[in-house]
A and B are shown apart, each in its own frame.
Chain A
Amino acid sequence: MSITNKITVKRAEIAVAVILALCSIALMIKSSENRITWNAEENMGAGFLPFYLSLGMLICTILTIIKFVLKRSPQSKDDTPFIDAVAFKFIAVTIISLVVLVLAIGYLGIYFSLIFFLAFYLRYFSEKSIAFITIFAITTPILTFLFFEWMLKIPLPQGVSEPLFYPVYDFMYGGFSFAVKMIFIILTVLLPTALVFLTTRFIK
């Protein structure tokens, strides 16, 4: 019997309820670092609302647990697997690759991390050709760069790859005319993008 069969809806329900109860207690403890009282002399303390909100959360989870014990909720009688093995694999791969992506962003910067993420994810989930994946994985970060850094002027994290972008910025804000910039963008971005769109039609 595989692990995914052992995790039934029933078990997941009670496990989640207990975890949420513990989280609520933790939140109550954390809230009480600020004053949690509210009385005639002193106005409502900063911790008052979070404390009683998390107390309410705790009560709700306890009610859920009671309903579980009394078998009043549909989940408490459900012995089917919480998730089937195939879906579990997909979701695990997705989550792990996302975590790796965000870790990589912190070090490598977003643009290069995205190339690896997209290449891996597409290779794993789609049946597209390497040619398609390569173009797609390279064009997407370029478009992201143009959209965020050039159009919206929102800097995205670049990590250690930052010096690589200095010449690009020099070009973007240098004394080149608008026409030169546009021709350059068309050559580097729009053409490959068009290629991607064409390849979605012709390359599998």
Chain B
Amino acid sequence: MSIIKKLALVVVSLSLVAVSSVSSAKPFSPKKPVELIIPAGQGGGADEIARLVQGVIEKNDYASKPVIPINKSGGSGGEAMTYVKKKAGDEHTLIITLNNVLTTPVNQPELGIDFFNDFTPLARLITDTFLVWIATEGKNTAGVETFDDFIDLAKGNGLVMGGTGSMSEDELLLGMMRGQFGFDAKYVPYSGGGAVAKGLVGGESDFTLNNPSEQMGFYQSGDSKALVMMTPERNPAFPEVPSSYELGYPDLEYYMMRAFMAPAGIDAEVEKYYTGLLHTVYHDDEFQTFNIDDGKLMSWLEGFGLKDFLAIEYEKHGEIIKNFN
């Protein structure tokens, strides 16, 4: 086809807009760039995955239109969730989740978000876990070698814990541990996992409950060490860190899910398309390698399995929040 013919085609299609909007039997594919809403700021764990997904899609041409990450970090994800709620029926909006999608509707009822009816869950790609970190040369945690040492120490002394913001996952976890082990700590909120890690190594806090990737640099340099990983099994990225099951604390299990959701009220076709797209991304070699090296768990889940999982997690978080208050 010559250039002129191509151009003519474009001009014709431009003028036939109204006609083209009539639905056809063709399977769905995005008509414009897809907005990928990130309910957190730049540089965090969710942001990282969102941009990785964007890059993988773009590099391999998995989708006909690009995916554009947009950060809406206001109100612990409240702003992002209200935005997606308002976009009901929109076929070009996705949201990547942190666990704040489970807690924010409960903590901020005035937003009027109904977790089960305002979103269409598509797929869970990854779960991230948490570890208990201390500084190798921490002045208050000197001599702590195991998680049990740590609990003994923490019971007697008011330790300082660095965290990523009030009512965020790690403060809820602290609440969970308080109930389980009977120790309390002074919670200092920072902005972002990086600042939390630095506060620990810089001697401002005594321990943190951070994601693997957020503490990776200081872990590799030997400045901080992990005492326990809150999963049933050890993680290949941290071979010497025991799992909570091994230590005999199976209740100490917690995940951060990286799932994708669409607004409510989209067609089954659209849902199928995006789930398929995410599935392609999930099985991309680069995507797999990156996440496994980063200590994340690849855990694909879709359909009814995902809905059940979300329902259980939502209930669990509601419980944690209730106990916390």
Asked if B33 and A166 make an inter-chain contact with CB atoms under 8 angstroms apart, the answer reads no
Type the 1/0 row for A147-160, where 1 means its CB is closer than 8 Å to any CB of B. 00100011100000
Please tell me which one of the listed residues B14, B65, B66 contacts residue A167 in the complex, with CB atoms under 8 A apart.
B14
List of B residues within 8 angstroms of A171 by Cβ: 10, 13
A169: interface (CB < 8 Å): yes
Type the 1/0 row for B44-77, where 1 means its CB is closer than 8 Å to any CB of A. 0000000000000000000011101010000000
- The stretch of A15-23, A119-127, A176-184 in contact with B is A176-184
A165: interface (CB < 8 Å): yes
For the complex formed, measure the closest distance between the CB of A120 and the CB atoms of chain B, giving whole angstroms: 26
Q: In the complex, what distance in Å separates the CA atom of A134 from the CA atom of B158?
A: 71
For the complex formed, measure the closest distance between the CB of A62 and the CB atoms of chain B, giving whole angstroms: 33
Asked if A180 and B6 make an inter-chain contact with CB atoms under 8 angstroms apart, the answer reads yes
B21: interface (CB < 8 Å): yes
For the complex formed, measure the closest distance between the CB of A92 and the CB atoms of chain B, giving whole angstroms: 33
Minimal Cβ-Cβ distance residue in A for B15: A167
Asked if B31 and A166 make an inter-chain contact with CB atoms under 8 angstroms apart, the answer reads yes
Type the 1/0 row for B286-310, where 1 means its CB is closer than 8 Å to any CB of A. 0000000000000000000000000
B24: interface (CB < 8 Å): no
List of A residues within 8 angstroms of B137 by Cβ: none
Asked if B31 and A173 make an inter-chain contact with CB atoms under 8 angstroms apart, the answer reads no
Q: Interface size on B (CB < 8 Å)?
A: 20
Asked if B65 and A169 make an inter-chain contact with CB atoms under 8 angstroms apart, the answer reads yes
Asked if A180 and B17 make an inter-chain contact with CB atoms under 8 angstroms apart, the answer reads no
List of B residues within 8 angstroms of A164 by Cβ: 17
B178: interface (CB < 8 Å): no
Knowing A165-B32, A166-B31, say if A173 contacts B10 (CB, 8 Å): no
Q: In the complex, what distance in Å separates the CA atom of A173 from the CA atom of B16?
A: 19
Knowing A163-B17, A164-B17, say if A155 contacts B3 (CB, 8 Å): no
Please tell me which one of the listed residues A155, A165, A176, A187 contacts residue B6 in the complex, with CB atoms under 8 A apart.
A176
Q: Across the A-B interface, how many residue pairs have beta carbons closer than 8 Å?
A: 52
List of B residues within 8 angstroms of A179 by Cβ: 3
List of A residues within 8 angstroms of B13 by Cβ: 167, 170-171
Q: In the complex, what distance in Å separates the CA atom of A183 from the CA atom of B18?
A: 26
B20: interface (CB < 8 Å): yes
A162: interface (CB < 8 Å): yes
A1: interface (CB < 8 Å): no
Q: In the complex, what distance in Å separates the CA atom of A188 from the CA atom of B115?
A: 46
Asked if A166 and B35 make an inter-chain contact with CB atoms under 8 angstroms apart, the answer reads no
Q: 5 closest Cβ contacts across the A-B interface?
A: A166-B31, A167-B13, A169-B32, A163-B21, A171-B10
Other A-B pairs, 20, CB within 8 Å; known A154-B68, A166-B20, A166-B21: A155-B33, A155-B35, A155-B70, A163-B18, A163-B21, A163-B31, A164-B17, A165-B32, A166-B17, A166-B31, A167-B17, A167-B20, A169-B33, A169-B65, A171-B10, A171-B13, A173-B33, A180-B3, A183-B3, A184-B10
Interface residues of B (CB under 8 A from A): 3, 6-7, 10, 13-14, 16-18, 20-21, 31-33, 35, 64-66, 68, 70
A-B contact pairs, 18 of them (CB 8 A): A153-B68, A155-B33, A155-B70, A163-B31, A166-B17, A166-B20, A166-B21, A167-B10, A167-B14, A168-B14, A169-B31, A170-B31, A171-B13, A173-B64, A174-B64, A183-B3, A184-B7, A187-B7
